[in-house]
Amino acid sequence: MRRIDLSAHGISVADVRRNLSPAELYAEAIRLEPDCAIADSGALIAYSGAKTGRSPKDKRIVRNPASENDVWWGPVNVPIDDDTFKVNLERAKDYLNTRSILYCVDAYAGWDPAHRLKVRVVCSRPYHALFMHTMLIRPSREELMAFGEPDAIIYNAGRFPANRRTHGMTSKTSIDLSLESKELVILGTEYAGEMKKGVFTMLNYFAPKRNILSMHCSATADRETGASSLLFGLSGTGKTTLSADPKRLLIGDDEHCWSDTGIFNIEGGCYAKAIDLAPETEPDIFQALRFGAVLENVVYDQDSHHVDFHDTSITQNTRGAYPIEFIRNAKIPCVAGHPTHVIFLTCDAFGVLPPVSRLTPAQAMYHCISGYTAKVAGTEMGVTEPQATFSPCFGGPFLVWHPMKYAGLLAEKIRRHKVDVWLVNTGWAGGAYGVGTRMKLGLTRAIIDAIHAGMLGDAPVAADPVFGLHALTACPNVPSEVLQPRQAWADKAAYDATARKLAGLFARNFAQYAGQVTPDVAQAGPTA
């Protein structure tokens, strides 16, 4: 058993088990965590307790003179003072020091050795250690021996609550980050995703300081040429599904950086939604959830240990974490050259955006800052019509700088490397949700394939009178009537009214950024 002395970090527990193998962590989990089990596929089943998703309203960043002018303060980045952070840090260490056994994971964030971050995770649950062993980049034996002191450290005391009487606390949950000490403290939530997104939040601060763009996107590469492509999109737009393309190599499904030499995945694993997972629809993900993977908050048969991926009685947010090399077409190491295409995905439940449009650099900035998609009626109580959702840079909850910082870096890299940018609507056609139908996955794949094959560079376009988009009117294997949304609506007046309504929502959302962008970007949105 490999052990490490963490007394320099204020951890007095003598038995701290470092970088245990998946087999060892399985044994620890089954021995010490009564709720853990092994699925018939071989994955470890674990439960995160009361919190089965992230707690974005409980994320806080220390306000420090060294970084306070960099941070986009507000509902995304709630400030706390250094004393409060130290109180919570001490509370976390006090809890961890009551445990007889702790787990330490030393690993990397970032596949490019020139830009990787050495991350140390200290936790009390084998499930959390296995999760981060999976989601970070696992060091070789030689790298682990030379690891030294970490660049960043996570203290996961999620089983212990924050003290609600502590200044600035609004609940028993608090996820606190100090940019100066590079320490993340987790109290009051055992949801493993908080660790993953905590690492991403750190890189979202430090990467742009080095002119590296951190991105909430998936990435693929051509099997023969190696040319890469980025797919941005919020939940439900098809980002993960479309990146699982057997014709291409997978760089990663969620978090990447774009440096002066190309792109690289931040993570060593994938964290996929497991609701309704089936081998027929997601064969690559389904087969990846085997020994070494973690299945989170799923329901299983107590006798056969067969998982029912359709059962959402615990949560709709069932998840599976697995090493990226479990995907058969993964490109290892997960790095590639500069992308030739950037694709923004949106699921427009209003049914008015074109299926595919070519964007100018100014439009690319506008739609990056907007980060639009739409919830459909019926997905939440009281939602009877499509609801627009705007998340800047398609990753608002994880930004540290103002969205303009990321959008500006993206625009600069697009111009320098002559990248084509596209807006692809995976949502509704022929009417809004409830009237029209969702774009068939096969048609969207045909569009993405045509983009990657370079077949749309000279395709004819028509100017959209409301959104100002250059909508393509021809695409191989896609009927022309599908590409022109107004023509697909039986009620043209209803289309016009719905388009104006969505345009107004875009304008109202973008008003908060209008004073901070150049005139060409401000004018790149809807015109009506």
Catalytically annotated residues: 54, 197, 216, 235, 239-240, 254, 319
The rounded distance, in Å, linking the Cα atoms of 324 and 67 is 34
Q: Please identify which residue in the block is written with the tokens 């104006």.
A: 500
Residues near 14 by Cβ (< 8 Å), separated by ≥ 6? none
Q: What is the token pair recorded at 405? A: 């910082």
Helices and strands: H and E segment counts in the chain? 13, 30
CA distances from 232 to 150, 190, 368, 397 (A): 30, 28, 9, 15
Q: Of the candidates 19, 271, 219, which has an alpha carbon nearest to the alpha carbon of residue 129? A: 19
Torsion over CA: 60, 62, 63, 68 (sign): negative
Residues near 495 by Cβ (< 8 Å), separated by ≥ 6? 351, 352, 485, 486, 489
Bond before 208 cis per omega within 30 degrees? no
The rounded distance, in Å, linking the Cα atoms of 158 and 187 is 4
SS (H, E, C) 387-411: EEEECHHHCHHHCCCCHHHHHHHHH
Q: What is the token pair recorded at 309? A: 């991926």
The rounded distance, in Å, linking the Cα atoms of 122 and 156 is 6
Entry field: residues in the chain: 528
In which region does residue 144 sit, left (phi positive, over 0), alpha (psi from -120 to 50) or beta (all else)? alpha
In which region does residue 351 sit, left (phi positive, over 0), alpha (psi from -120 to 50) or beta (all else)? left
Q: Of the candidates 42, 55, 57, 108, which has an alpha carbon nearest to the alpha carbon of residue 289? A: 42
Phi first, then psi: give them for residue 342, nearest 5 degrees. Answer: -120, 125
CA distances from 173 to 63, 155, 161, 191, 444 (A): 19, 14, 6, 11, 40
- ∠ CA 197-201-202, nearest 5°, is 120
